[in-house]
Amino acid sequence: METRGCCASICQCFFEYSTPKILIIRSFKVGTLNRITQALVIAYVIGYVCVLNKGYQDTDAVLSSVTTKVKGIALTNTSDLGLRIWDVADYIIPPQEESSFFVLTNLLITLNQTQSHCPEVPKTGFDCTSDRDCKAGSRDTRGNGVQTGKCVRYSAVDKTCEVLAWCPLELDKEPPNPPMLADAENFTVLIKNSIRYPKFNFNKRNILPYVNKTYLEQCVFNRITDPDCPIFRLKDMVTEANEDFQTMAVHGGVMGVQIRWECDLDMPSSWCVPRYTFRRLDNKDPTDLSLTPNYYNHRFAKYYKNGNNEETRTLIKGFGIRFDVMVFGQAGKFNIVPTLLNVGAGLALLGLVSIVLLSHAVCVVVMATVYIC
């Protein structure tokens, strides 16, 4: 009998259906607060979540590849090199980098270096008065070679340790101002960027479908007249970053080319186009330039054989601007799952509002009852 009664109770509970009681509170204050709060929740869900934030879409991050090609000719006339033409093989070092390129704009040249003996450049740790101050075979990362153990005269007033090195040694001095390759401001670069959103199987490149060979041969990027041209003048990029090209070219620096792809794939694919921005990446104004000069330079050499079959080289300390191309982006497309999730969250928020207002109304009723009593 007990078992039969327990089963009957379980069946009765299983097949029951209950509804909540509805409490109608006729209060202008509570009713107004209820409608205003509901309107705010609906505006948030529709305006921000669905329209502004596109909560009905699934999203994917961009995958990208970048290649660059620089063109331009510079002319210099110096006492060391004479009249000389510089083309892309001279000033793009190295020829290819990953999503970046370096343009030589200024240089210090040390000609006709050979491996021989010469006095070290005067600096702390290399000054001497006799051979006892110099240690044969000593190597110092701040020096230019291997000490021979001899103290020799560097100038009429200075004596330094002799080193086996590429002589004559490079002198530590300021680069020319104005820069030697001042014409680099008129160089142009073709930036080819291909992107893919794998989740949506969508591909595109920054050379848009309507762009043809004739247009590419004559266009240069201009934010007003040619915003879709993938060819950029170096001076224009630096100027858009609120910098002066000639000033930056003296000691070098680092520029960022930012390409942003924000694509709504519910719209025509022609609406998905790149947006270009430019900014300087290195800090040109550190706290103390004397401690950490924020220049961009590196050294490279060109090697030769002279008439005596002796190896010689020309050492170049090159200053220039490195351009880093950075691609950002996100694509969105309608998907029922995020749509239902955001709609459900909005309905839950409306329900929460009702509970909060009901609690407030009950408190008001209780307080009124207490006051009447």
Residue ranges for the binding site for ATP?
Answer: 69-71, 188, 297-299, 317
The residues, any chain, with a CB within 8 Å of residue 214's CB and separated by 6 or more, are none
CB distance 281 to 256 below 8 Å: yes
Burial class (CB in 10 A: 0-12, 13-18, 19+), 17: exposed
Q: What is the DSSP letter of 44?
A: I
Nearest-CA neighbor of 76 among 86, 89, 90?
Answer: 86
The residues, any chain, with a CB within 8 Å of residue 331's CB and separated by 6 or more, are 59, 60, 62, 197, 199, 200, 202, 261, 263, 264, 265, 272
Q: Dig out the tokens for 11 from the structure.
A: 């069946």
Nearest-CA neighbor of 272 among 191, 197, 192?
Answer: 197
CA 153 to centroid of chain Cα atoms: 50
The residues, any chain, with a CB within 8 Å of residue 342's CB and separated by 6 or more, are 45, 49, 50, 55, 56
Q: Dig out the tokens for 3 from the structure.
A: 């078992």
CA pair distance 167, 218, nearest whole angstrom: 48
The Cβ of residue 101 has, within 10 Å, a number of other Cβ atoms equal to 24
CB distance 183 to 75 below 8 Å: yes
Q: Dig out the tokens for 304 from the structure.
A: 């030769």
